[in-house]
Amino acid sequence: MVLRSHVFKRLKALKDPSASVDGGDEEQQQESFDFTKHSPNSWIHRLFHRIFEKLQDYRCEKSRSLFIEHSCSSLGCVDYDIALSCQCNRLCEGYGNCCSDYYGLCDTCEAFGGCLDYDNRHSCQCNVDCSSFGNCCSDYESFCGSGAPDNCVGRCGTSPDATKTCQCDADCSTYGDCCSDFTSTCSGTTTTTTTSSTTGATTTTTTQAPTGDTCVGRCNAALDSSKSCQCNTACNTYGDCCPDYSETCGGSGGGGGLDFNVYASDLWARDVNRIDSSSYTVNIQTELSSSSNNVDQAPSKLFSYFDEATIYNTGTFVQFKTLCDNYEPNQGVTEDRDSNQDDLNEQTAYLDAIMATSLMQHAVTKLAEVGLVADAADFRSKLITAFFDLYQRTASDDSSGFEHCFCGEWKSSTQVNGFHNWIQFYELEKQGALDYYGNFGMSQPDHLGVQFYWSGRKKPLTSIMLGVSTEFELAIYMACFLENPGSQTSFTITDGANSWPIKVQTYTQNTVHVGSAYFIS
């Protein structure tokens, strides 16, 4: 008891040097006193002394680390580390915590892990379309283009090719000749088709890309960067699903079984708010040969006639017209919509109007039949989450699926992001804010690819479906998003004797939101 009391007094002296210890001995009040002089257990005193020294060193080191300015040049393009003041991985763009030298050092195809599909989290891209859109990463040509070493882009599951330096079939791991991007590009199932030279019979074999990780016990788990593959719905978007994702987690993105040909044709027939072409006229002018075009080859406006009195008093266009001016076009600027009751009231009125249409009611019925939604209330809830809830694209709550797809955004001082609606195109052209540069051809039904500048910012290529109602677009987009998130969905719209092949692309944002959705021109 005497020893313990003595130690507690020493601890008190270290914490508060002004406090008296052992009857006011001033020498013993100093933090540098010699514990070794105090018997009978001087080793215990030495131990306490050493512990305090280490704690003091740790506090100083911890304080210094808080002021260290990390950089990607010193850290490398490493995975997320909570101890770092900034990050150097592909997720930092979405969270807004990239190191100052991330761009140009880690936003490369090599750092992203291969020649991947479009990823809206990245400031540059590594897919075959980036040249057309002018957003390729700096090393795209050397890493993925004509100057690149052999890779697995477009070759997953193909038979061995003797002209290539590496292979992308299921046996490449056995023979040790897989391309360096085999795991990142070919994760999941691969399909190989062979034809017998004697019988002509075709055999399709589905194999699994080798990986040590599975989805057992991980279905719908958050991103785990320590794993080679993932098991949530976002893995479809980023191409990193584990081989057993579909089997283990039912990873079709929904209940499955939706016949898109029937679904889309039914919606087309029920789109009573679709505007007849007699109420507007387009002057498409010059057809462009490349999205890299920077010359205005359309001296006139796209819309030479637009009957506002008819169009803006037809069905849900009345409510839609009020929405786009509720958004701030600049990505990186937090939206104030949710704090503006008038804006929220306009959004609610629009949702009420589209949900009351026979088109949307039919969409709900069909989606409920295959288990993608439970009922109308569930559909509306999912629609709000997917398209209308705000999320971070560059800064907190600076974007939404609806703003991106229907109103458009300014990605930077030179680039437009999203923008796939014909009414918004007319409105901005009428205001003089949008300058139409030319087209990439018209396909039926009234589907037009266009290039334009909006307030000095370029949209190299986008597609707009002329005349259709926004509920038609949303009903199509929601089905594609729920059934095939982050993928292309192909189907045919049939109207009497007419049939039109259609493709829709959706991208996810944080799994539950729409990053983008559009008809592919």
pLDDT at 71: 82
pLDDT at 120: 61
**Helices 358-369 & 376-383 angle (0-180, nearest 10):** 100
Task: Let me know: does 428 contact 434? Beta carbons within 8 Å.
Answer: yes
Assess whether pLDDT exceeds 60 at residue 445: yes
Range 391-407 average pLDDT = 94
Average pLDDT score over the chain:
78
**CA 264/CA 492 separation, integer angstroms:** 7
Strand residue runs (E) in 406-497: 409-410, 416-417, 434-443, 447-454, 457-465, 488-495
Domains and CATH numbers, the chain: 72-145 (no CATH), 152-183 (4.10.410.20), 212-254 (4.10.410.20), 260-520 (no CATH)
pLDDT bucket at 30, cuts 50 / 70 / 90: very low
End-to-end Cα separation, the chain, in angstroms: 86
pLDDT bucket at 411, cuts 50 / 70 / 90: very high
Q: Between these two residues, 403 and 251, which has the higher pLDDT value? A: 403
Assess whether pLDDT exceeds 80 at residue 283: yes
Range 422-434 average pLDDT = 97
Task: Let me know: does 82 contact 469? Beta carbons within 8 Å.
Answer: no
Distances (CA, A) of 379 to 363, 475, 509, 510: 9, 10, 18, 19
Range 170-190 average pLDDT = 65
Active site residues: 404, 420, 459
Q: Between these two residues, 40 and 492, which has the higher pLDDT value? A: 492
Assess whether pLDDT exceeds 60 at residue 371: yes
Closest CA to 262 of 362, 149, 162: 362
pLDDT at 499: 93
Residues 6+ apart with CB under 8 A from 502: 264, 447, 490, 491, 492, 493, 519
Amino acid at 410: W
pLDDT at 188: 43
For the chain, percent helix, then strand, then coil, each to nearest 5? 35, 20, 45
Q: Which residues of 405-441 are buried (b: 16+ CB within 10 A; e: fewer)?
A: bbbbbbbeeebbbbbbbbbbbbbbbeeeebbbbbbbe
Task: Let me know: does 353 contact 345? Beta carbons within 8 Å.
Answer: no
pTM comes to 0.56
Residues 6+ apart with CB under 8 A from 5: none
pLDDT bucket at 187, cuts 50 / 70 / 90: low
Q: Between these two residues, 337 and 190, which has the higher pLDDT value? A: 337
Which residues, in sequence order, are bridge partners of residue 488? 505
pLDDT bucket at 38, cuts 50 / 70 / 90: very low
Closest CA to 182 of 145, 148, 213, 156: 156
pLDDT at 323: 96
Assess whether pLDDT exceeds 90 at residue 421: yes
Q: Between these two residues, 93 and 358, which has the higher pLDDT value? A: 358
Task: Let me know: does 406 contact 516? Beta carbons within 8 Å.
Answer: no
Task: Let me know: does 451 contact 521? Beta carbons within 8 Å.
Answer: no
Task: Let me know: does 281 contact 477? Beta carbons within 8 Å.
Answer: no
Q: Between these two residues, 72 and 91, which has the higher pLDDT value? A: 72
